[in-house]
Amino acid sequence: MKHRLLPLFSLLSATAALAVAGCSSVSTRKVVELDRFHRFYVEKRLNENNRLDELIVAELQRLGRQASSGPLTMMPPKTEVLVTYDARWNWDFKTYLIELNLELHTLYPSKKLADGRYYQPSLTPKQPAEAVNGILRPLFGK
């Protein structure tokens, strides 16, 4: 009897471990190579209070780009790429990032250069800075 319950117990243990660990996915897509662009502006979402714009700017600067953020009306005149984002947060005794979508566009004419998506609907998500890094690093090939 004990030998028949062992496979069932193993299966239940593995399922529980997967449920607790959660799975994350990061997908990125480049329409053109981003090496020729150096000045980026991250549009700050007015309804987003978790400072994701600052994390995106910091990561772009770590990747050797000039970057700043703020409302669209404050964009510097020599900006080459506009970065927009949408984030979905959840709260289960603490606030955590479930989903982050980034898009990079030229300004005039507005054409999409690249996009990326991070998704992890679990109680043990990555820190927001890790999610931003996971999207931007593959886009810049480093």
pLDDT tens, N- to C-terminus, the chain (142 residues): 455 544 444 444 444 444 444 577 888 888 888 999 999 999 998 888 889 999 999 999 999 999 999 999 999 999 999 999 999 988 877 788 899 999 999 988 889 999 999 998 876 778 899 999 999 999 987 5
Q: Taking the model in full, what pTM does it have?
A: 0.80
> What domains sit in the chain, N to C, each tagged with a CATH number?
24-139 (3.30.160.670)
Q: DSSP of 11-76, one letter per residue?
A: HHHHHHHHHHH---EEEEEESS--TT--EEEEEPPTT--S-HHHHHHHHHHHTT-EEEEE-GGG--
